[in-house]
Amino acid sequence: MNVIIPTEDSKMQHIIEKVRHGQRLTLEDGVFLYQSDDLLTIGQLANEVAMRKNGKKVYFIENMSLYFTNVCEAHCAFCNFRKDEGEEGSYTLSGPQMIEYVEQHFHPGVREFHIVGGHNPNVPFQYYVDSLKALNERYPEVTLKAYTAAEIDFFSRISGLTYREVLEELMKAGLKSLTGGGAEILSDHYRKKMRVDKADVTQYLQVHRTAHELGLRTHTTMLYGSIETKEDRIRHMMHIRDLQDETNGFQVFIPLSMQPINPRAGIRRRNSAFEDLKTIAISRLMLDNFQHIKAYFINIGVQLTQVALTMGASDAHGTIVKEKISHAAGALTPEGITREDLIWLIKGAGRIPVERDTFYNEIKVYE
């Protein structure tokens, strides 16, 4: 009797066949892809999937990142954005103060405000509602994509309201979509070790489930590159893939490359370009029920973003204007980018730039 021991090549061939026949990849498949150093095959396969789903189109949006407060009760080990109340550099902006900031940077092409911040227990839930209300009244044409699932869980705790009630109040104030942050790695072991003293795995997923039930389309992330295992990353993807099977409410998956706390940290303290590209490609292969995978230039740089567009990514994010969270943690990339540069970047990868709104409706195709 001949026993056939699978080789690396035969395993890879098996995964290729599965992907091409629309079969779902398993935990074992995902871990194998991470262990393989055949980035070109993985990237090429991810590119096939992206082309099947979106053709040559790569999406971007004119958006602004806004941060109402950096005061936070959580002490996550990887965060350099948070401050304690009264600490030097801490701030909590009122609605009018934020509008003053927006007016300095706003131009009529902006379609979305991306709003996140600290879990500030020194202000009531109403403060967070009023923040959205002020923006919505001043800029009714701009979509409010606001707060992470972890922030919604925090609002629930300080207000005594359920997730559904919190979301309903925010929707009345103008909320149209949730941001993807707060996921980090969806592993309770990881969250304990990294002092992620905010929404746990079940709570993160339940907030998004509730948002989807209320008709909100949301975003979701994975912060990789610290203490998690490759298996943790694949399990994370499977958690959100399962919820997407259930609700179909996620629009995009955003792998976030961990930034070192010190901006002067050398390249050995950062994820390698190889690892970043592999994570984007594997995300595209594992998340068969997601339309888009985002290459986030803030964390991986604009040139690597361009390469990622040939390895499974179909979204190049947006103009941002002034990003603060990754830059507080040592990102070396630009804080924002112009529409013209985004278009150039996408065309340079042989792709078709498509300006979109928050919900991936096409505004303009730059053939």
pLDDT in tens, 13-65: 999 999 999 999 999 999 999 999 999 999 999 999 999 999 999 999 988 88
Residue 246 banded pLDDT, cuts 50, 70, 90: very high
* Residue 341 CB coordination number (10 Å): 14
Domains in the chain, ordered, with CATH?
Answer: 31-357 (3.20.20.70)
pLDDT in tens, 323-351: 555 566 555 556 667 888 889 999 999 99
Residue 206 near residue 246 (C-beta atoms within 8 A): no
Residue 216 near residue 166 (C-beta atoms within 8 A): no
Cα(74)–Cα(150) distance, integer angstroms? 10
* Coil, helix or strand at residue 238: helix
Q: What is the DSSP letter of 203?
A: H
* Residue 275 CB coordination number (10 Å): 16
